[in-house]
Amino acid sequence: MSLNEQQSNRHAGENTLIWTVWFTYGAFYFCRTNISAAVPGLKESVEAGGLGLTATQVSYILGGTKLAYATGQFLNGQLSEQLAPRKLLAIGMLGTAVLNVIFGFGTALYFLIFIWACNGYSQALGWTPCVRVLANWFPVERRGKVIGLVGTGYQATAVATYLVSGFAAEWFGWRGVFWVSAGIMTLAALAMWFLLEEKPREEDAFVSPDANESNRLPSNDPSNTVLRNLWLTLTNPALWLLGISLGLLNASRYGFLDWGLTHLKEVQETGVGKAALKYAVLPVGAIAGSYLAGWATDRFFGSRRAPVTCVLLVLLGLLSLAYDSVARTSVPATMLLLVVIGFCIYGPQVLLVGTAPADLARKGTSAAAAGFVNCMGYIGAASGDYFTGRSLDASGWQSTIYLWAIWAFAAAVAAGLLWGATSPDDKGT
């Protein structure tokens, strides 16, 4: 096979892989973010067709799934180094579809907490296998752009989720939100099974003999045991800082994702469907943030992720301080602000959740590193949901959203401590 044919095969294989991972992980959001459209129904009185839950009780459901997700990210990050990504993804996708159906039949608070926590664990079978596949295909200097592009997938599906779930709640009640999402996820699982290539074939993985070692495709080391991967992960101080930053960001992020639609419905006194139509612009900004943040780190900062992360987190804090006042006074200004907030949330989130852990992981542990950082991130998200619920019941929306801003500023500080950090691969270690 000629050099040109090898290069053509490689590019075709890479493109197919990117778009397969793009829709595969994005599909998980149909069975996760959908609950935001159901929160108003969960809080409505029994007479109105809801369950009559308080904000604090709803926070137990939301927080439970994130603790389970955090546990799953940590454990599955290790499993993803040992087991086939396609199998893990299939289990996660079909598992979350079944659990969404079951949740839709629930009535008791503790039953709902348990089922949605199980859903959180199933959801945790999604990201780390995807990170392993991407690390198998792409070298460090291309990962920022590639993972940023993949990150736009779960923003695009988040737009679709808000719209589909919002109108499902209007037409079928809050329970219908979960049944519709389960059907979509099942179809996505079938597509993933037939399309995903876990690693490049020999003809797709051509590297010029003149390429230096840092340009060669990295691969996870299957000879590492689970304990070895765990040790290499837990003794890496950069991953702890990434996890702290992501945890604080997620506390703020899930304030907007889990509670923002309810906030908009209440302060603008509108229906769930109309509120969802307005709120769906947040992931539009997130799509741009996910892609451009990764591109900027590669283009302007030598693949250092922290500078862009830090700047966007500071902007997120500032915008959050203004959000409640704007939402009460102007619909167009609210939608514009949500676009920018989405940009500032997901630019750093994509860097912290996948690109930076893959970069700063020790060799052969990219999925384990991503799992560990995500574990810490979702402990932060669970804590954020709990304190958001308590704050809402005690103080109302404005004080609660100020709390989201404080978390964003704190995340910026943690990320800033890694300002000059680069991949160990760049040092030949």
Q: Where are the domains of the chain?
A: 3-199+236-420
Region of residue 12 (left: phi > 0; alpha: psi -120 to 50; beta: else): alpha
pLDDT in tens, 277-314: 888 888 888 888 877 887 788 778 777 888 899 999 99
Q: Return d(Cα 236, Cα 394) in angstroms, integer.
A: 40
pTM of the model as a whole? 0.75
Q: Exposed e or buried b for every residue in 280-312, given b needs 16+ CB within 10 A?
A: bbbbbbbbbbbbbbbebbbeebebbbbbbbbbb
In this predicted model, what pLDDT tens digit does every residue of 400-419 receive, in sequence order?
999 999 999 999 999 999 88
Determine the distance from the C-alpha atom of residue 131 to the mean position of all C-alpha atoms in its chain, rounded to a whole number: 12
Residues with Cβ within 8 Å of 330's Cβ and at least 6 positions away in sequence, in order, are: none
CA distance 271 to 318: 29
Residue 46: CB atoms within 10 A of its CB come to 9
> What is the end-to-end Cα distance of the chain in Å, rounded?
34
Contact 408, 248 (CB under 8 A): yes
- Give the three-class secondary structure for 227: helix
The predicted model gives 165-188 an average pLDDT of 92
Query: Does CATH place domain 3-199+236-420 in 3.40.720.10?
Result: no
| DSSP notation for 139-192 | -HHHHHHHHHHHHHHHHHHHHHHHHHHHHHHHHH-HHHHHHHHHHHHHHHHHHH
Nearest to 248 by CA among 369, 410, 371: 410
Choose from 52-56, 74-78, 229-233, 409-413 the range with maximum mean pLDDT. 409-413
**Greatest mean pLDDT range, 12-21, 38-47, 182-191:** 182-191
Burial of 117 per CB tally in 10 Å (0-12, 13-18, 19+): buried
